Amino acid sequence: MSSIWVYPGQGAQKVNMLRDLPQTTLVQHYLEQATNILKQDVLLLDQPEALKSTYAVQLCLFISGVISSSLMSEQGVKPDYVAGLSIGAWAAATVAGVLSFEDGLKLVALRGRLMQQAYPSGYGMTALMGTTQSDVEIWVNQVYQQNQDIFIANLNTANQIVISGSNQAMKQVAEKAQENGVLAKRLEVSVPSHCSLLDVQAKQLAEHIKGVAQQQPNIRYLSGTSARLLVKKEQVIEDISFNMCRMIDWESTVQSAWERGVRLQIESLPGTVLTGLARQTFKEGTVLSFQGTRLHSLIGAMHKESARSLNA
């Protein structure tokens, strides 16, 4: 029996997500550190107008993820695994010790700027719910023949697939899906993540990260793209550098965690998206989220799972 801490991607952001963090010395330290590193008040990043930008959203999610984990680590608990969806993988890598908080923050800021500058408008992501990957592949291929700005981006669950691309192409795929009784929902993401449209930006980011100090992970890191366990720092760095242009396979990542004996998943702030996605797989396990759960309850769950591991 073991545990995993997971970190959400874009779409989970909320107004005041940094301002609503627990008012503790540790949290204040992180927020002040982030402000000094970025040379801007990070508490302005979680406001409605700011959250329209990919740059602000990614920074807020990264900061929230690292702080969530630090609040638990401060209480003497440590997960067996970490994993993150999209930008969440950067928080996972930082929590695993591969990157420092300072370097991770600077690189996430660069990541957000690169993605935002490449696609300032006219693109995004749409979730299709109540369908299968094979059906979505057919619709995407049909639209792709006329408009090549459309791709499958995320395999969230067996019946929840996310597409990425231009607004026009996504609308065409969504119409085909809706004709077949599928629910289509535009996500709060303003760039076409997890497809080849971001190949150039991923390569630029990979060049920047080469000179940054890197350490071997001290917590096992599961890739949200390949669902594989990555044990070397070079593998983790390559994974987070290029995940913006690679399809996310979160369904397989959750399944991989379960098959490795994980029975407790805790999702970092700010949301509960990954908690919902894991419920089907973790029917006989426990899925919790920082959002709406008291810290002492999360710590208690971690201790309980550790005790099970010792007695197994």
User: Quick one: how far is CA 20 from the chain centroid?
Assistant: 20
Sheet holding 160-166, edge to edge: 150-157, 160-166, 123-129, 183-186
Does 29 qualify as catalytic in the annotation? Answer: no
Which of 2, 69, 193, 194 is catalytic? The answer is 194
Does 86 qualify as catalytic in the annotation? Answer: yes
Phi/psi of residue 33, each to 5°? -60, -45
CA–CA gap between residue 87 and residue 90 (Å, rounded)? 6
3-state DSSP call for residue 18?
Answer: coil
Q: What does the DSSP 8-state code read for residue 148?
A: -
Length of the chain as a residue count: 312
Which of 86, 164, 252, 289 is catalytic? The answer is 86
- Residues 6 or more apart in contact with residue 166 via CB below 8 angstroms: 122, 123, 147, 149, 150, 192
Q: Can you read off the two tokens belonging to residue 190?
A: 């303003």
Q: Can you read off the two tokens belonging to residue 7?
A: 């970190």
| Cβ(96)–Cβ(112) below 8 Å | no
Q: Can you read off the two tokens belonging to residue 134?
A: 């094979």
3-state DSSP call for residue 227?
Answer: coil
Q: At 199, which amino acid appears?
A: D
Q: Can you read off the two tokens belonging to residue 148?
A: 């090549």
- Residues 6 or more apart in contact with residue 276 via CB below 8 angstroms: none
Catalytic residues: 86, 194
